Amino acid sequence: MADRRETSRTAGRRAGLDKRPADVAAMFDGVAERYDVTNTVLSAGLDASWRRATREALGARPGQTVLDVAAGTAVSTVELASGGVRAIACDFSQGMLRAGAARPVPKVAGDAMALPLADESVDGVVISFGLRNVADPDAALREFRRVTRPGGTLVVCEFSSPTWAPFRTVYIEYLMRALPRIARAVSSNPDAYVYLAESIRAWPDQPALAGRLQDAGWADVAWHNLTGGIVALHRARRV
């Protein structure tokens, strides 16, 4: 993971790359109102297919309980809840949870690094576009293991590194130049999308993140790329 420190903030409207929890929560409170629509615009509609692939990678069965950490407006949780799976949304941004209040899934306020759940109480944990925003991702990965029963599954859906170098160059241009401009037209907190671009660039690539999962005690770690590696799904098993 890049070790760059970014501390500039605009009165809590965006977090720095040190990802202080209060700043991150305040930043998401600020984007909550238009979060879903902004996502769909910035991803050119690909977000729905990424969420579907996340549910398929998890492979939860009817009657199983899964925890969607950093669930935001619960748009990711609703996808997981299809087919009789009990999916619970957990997030520390009250604004994001409120913006998703109409979504028919159970919701709980909580921090990824100290989940309000008992040991070995869920069959699976998913975190979509959330781990990159957590102040201590390694502590969160250990916490996900604590709440997952033996044999259970973790899926991390996160922005990653396109594998074909020319595509990676074009993508980074999009991230650093076009994306913040588009966000200015669509989002209720455009500064947050400058943070988005910077945090994606500073995030570990696929093999490095796999190593972090292993170090946190997860077994059978594997990943596959979506959209050329713009997004990667890491999957692991609790032993």
Ligand X SMILES: C[S@@+](CC[C@H](N)C(=O)[O-])C[C@H]1O[C@@H](n2cnc3c(N)ncnc32)[C@H](O)[C@@H]1O
Output Rg (C-alpha) for the chain, integer angstroms.
17
Please say which residue, 105 or 239, places its beta carbon nearer to ligand X: 105
Burial 194-218 (b: 16+ CB within 10 A, else e): bbbbbbbeebbebeebbebbeebeb
Please say which residue, 98 or 219, places its beta carbon nearer to ligand X: 98
Which residue of this chain has its Cβ atom nearest to ligand X in the complex?
72
Angstrom distance (rounded) from CA 43 to CA 46: 5
Q: Provide the minimum distance between the beta carbon of 138 and ligand X in the complex, in angstroms, as a whole number.
A: 13
Please say which residue, 107 or 238, places its beta carbon nearer to ligand X: 107
Q: Provide the minimum distance between the beta carbon of 166 and ligand X in the complex, in angstroms, as a whole number.
A: 27
C-alpha pair distances (Å), 228 with each of 18, 54, 63, 84, 163: 28, 16, 34, 31, 6
Please say which residue, 87 or 213, places its beta carbon nearer to ligand X: 87
Please say which residue, 26 or 221, places its beta carbon nearer to ligand X: 26
CB atoms within 10 A of CB 49: 13
Q: Provide the minimum distance between the beta carbon of 32 and ligand X in the complex, in angstroms, as a whole number.
A: 8
Q: Provide the minimum distance between the beta carbon of 68 and ligand X in the complex, in angstroms, as a whole number.
A: 7
The residues pairing with 122 across neighbouring beta strands, listed in sequence order, are 148
Residues of this chain that bind ligand X (CB under 6 A): 21, 24-25, 28, 70-72, 75-76, 91-93, 96, 111-113, 128-130, 133-134
The residues pairing with 225 across neighbouring beta strands, listed in sequence order, are 232
Q: Provide the minimum distance between the beta carbon of 116 and ligand X in the complex, in angstroms, as a whole number.
A: 11
